[in-house]
Amino acid sequence: MQIALFQPDIPQNTGTILRLCACLGLAAHIIEPAGFPVSDRHFRRAGMDYLDQVSITRHVSWPQFEEWRAAQGCRLLLFTTKAATDYRDFRYQTSDILLFGRESAGVTDAVVEAADARLVIPIAPGLRSLNVAMTAAMAAGEALRQIRNPQG
Ligand SMILES: C[S@@+](CC[C@H](N)C(=O)[O-])C[C@H]1O[C@@H](n2cnc3c(N)ncnc32)[C@H](O)[C@@H]1O
């Protein structure tokens, strides 16, 4: 199970998600451009000392990420408010990549098209969306629960 962030633009959210990845043992992927510097140096300056515990791969563009993913043969599961499938009804695999969109604008149509599945965390009617780091935590929690307890 891996986590990918599409062009993140709020560093605090990315930091929270990288910490989640470190604590849960998940690899992280950042698809650039991001709205802030994503070099190791900048993360370290921001005090993210647990960075040593997480594998972070930077992809300079969406096409380059897709090239890498094709070589890996991993499914791409897009979390989006514009999906019909409840994330609890989907069957996850260990090799899946969970993808989350940019805070300000979500993802592009090309990303929506490329995804193997589009999943939603149902929220109260009339409300826009969850925070992206909250979404990542809920998504990773459900996916890992299923993978570690396939009967459950
Ligand atoms: C703040 S939201 C983006 C809102 C953006 N205006 C849009 O139209 O997508 C940031 C990211 O969090 C994730 N997200 C937030 N709420 C979600 C939900 N209820 N279900 C699935 N994903 C969600 C999605 O990956 C989304 O791209």
For residue 30, which phi and psi values (nearest 5 degrees)? -115, 120
Q: Compute, in angstroms, the gap from residue 1 CA to the centroid of ligand 1.
A: 20
130 lines ligand 1 (CB under 6 A): yes
Q: What pLDDT sits at residue 37?
A: 86
pTM over 0.80: yes
Quick one: pLDDT band at residue 152, thresholds 50, 70, 90? low
Bridge partners, residue 6, by sequence: 31
What pLDDT is recorded for position 21? 95
Task: For ligand 1, say whether the CB of 88 is within 6 Å of any of its atoms.
Answer: no
Residues 133 and 138: their CA atoms lie apart, in Å, by 9
Which ranges constitute the DSSP H helices of 25-152?
A: 40-45, 62-72, 109-114, 132-148
**What span, in angstroms and rounded, lies between the C-alpha atoms of 120 and 15?**
23
For 14-71, write each residue's pLDDT tens digit: 999 999 999 999 999 999 999 988 877 777 666 577 888 899 999 999 999 999 999 9
Q: Over the chain, what is the mean pLDDT?
A: 93
pLDDT reported for residue 143? 98
Distance from C-alpha of 116 to C-alpha of 85, rounded to nearest angstrom:
12
Model pLDDT, residue 101: 98
123 is in an annotated binding site: no
pLDDT digits (tens, 9 = 90+) for 87-144: 999 999 999 999 999 999 999 999 999 999 999 999 999 999 999 999 999 999 999 9
pLDDT at 39: 79
Determine whether the shortest distance from the Cβ of 2 to ligand 1 is under 6 A.
no
Alpha carbon distances (Å) from 63 to 26, 79, 112:
23, 19, 14
Instruction: Please state at what angle helix 11-24 crosses helix 132-148, rounded to 10 degrees.
Output: 20
Please tell me the distance between residue 146's alpha carbon and the centre of ligand 1 in angstroms: 22
Residue whose structure tokens are 């993808």:
99
- For residue 78, the model assigns a pLDDT of 98
The hierarchical CATH code for the domain 2-148 is 3.40.1280.10
What three-state secondary structure class fits 85? strand
Say if CB 44 and CB 92 are below 8 A apart.
no
